[in-house]
A and B are shown apart, each in its own frame.
Chain A
């Protein structure tokens, strides 16, 4: 059974930093690209960042480029995102999501999410 378990979300002040983690199990982690998707309170889903299976390529939404860094440790089956320069508009539930297949652009499994609140 595929499981994705996010952690690391908490209350942080504007301008602060946070690192989220996503522990994966139930599939061959290093075969799949992984992504972060967020949902701000009362808003829709927003793709944030992605990383290829090897970690060799990373991708970011314009809203987080230069502030967020996605990474992965395939030996630990874990996905990360380092978030710096946090803003109020980064307040959201952050999900990690597994890309369905190597040639696909959709997500077949999602975690339960971890809540990031940016406020003074």
Chain B
């Protein structure tokens, strides 16, 4: 089965840049999506097709995807960005796959 691996946690100071990685076999050949999930709320799609932002998502959120790694970058991180972030991709065998999730802490 296809798997996506994320670091359990990332810490960032307000105003700095947070980078969250997602690793999977030849992930760069697939589209990666990213979701922000705050406790008690619904997940929000922040990046789709590896690099695109849905309407309403701040420009500080960006994505890249190459080789075996997709990356979500939050530039000028704000306190409100503190949340769990999940990557997701599609595989022909496993179908919809989520990463293990990364807790972003804004210190």
Contact = CB atoms under 8 A, between A and B. Distances in A.
Give chain B's interface secondary structure class.
strand
Interface string B42-76: 11110011000010000000000000000000000
A70 to B, nearest CB: 13
A98 to B, nearest CB: 10
30 contacts: A37-B98, A44-B84, A44-B86, A44-B98, A44-B100, A45-B37, A45-B98, A47-B96, A47-B97, A47-B98, A50-B95, A50-B96, A59-B95, A61-B95, A95-B43, A97-B43, A100-B45, A100-B54, A105-B33, A105-B89, A105-B90, A105-B96, A106-B31, A106-B88, A107-B33, A107-B35, A107-B43, A107-B45, A108-B45, A112-B41
Given A35-B96, A105-B33, 20 more contacts: A37-B96, A37-B98, A44-B84, A44-B100, A44-B101, A45-B35, A45-B37, A47-B97, A50-B95, A50-B96, A59-B95, A97-B43, A100-B45, A104-B49, A105-B89, A105-B90, A106-B88, A107-B35, A108-B54, A112-B41
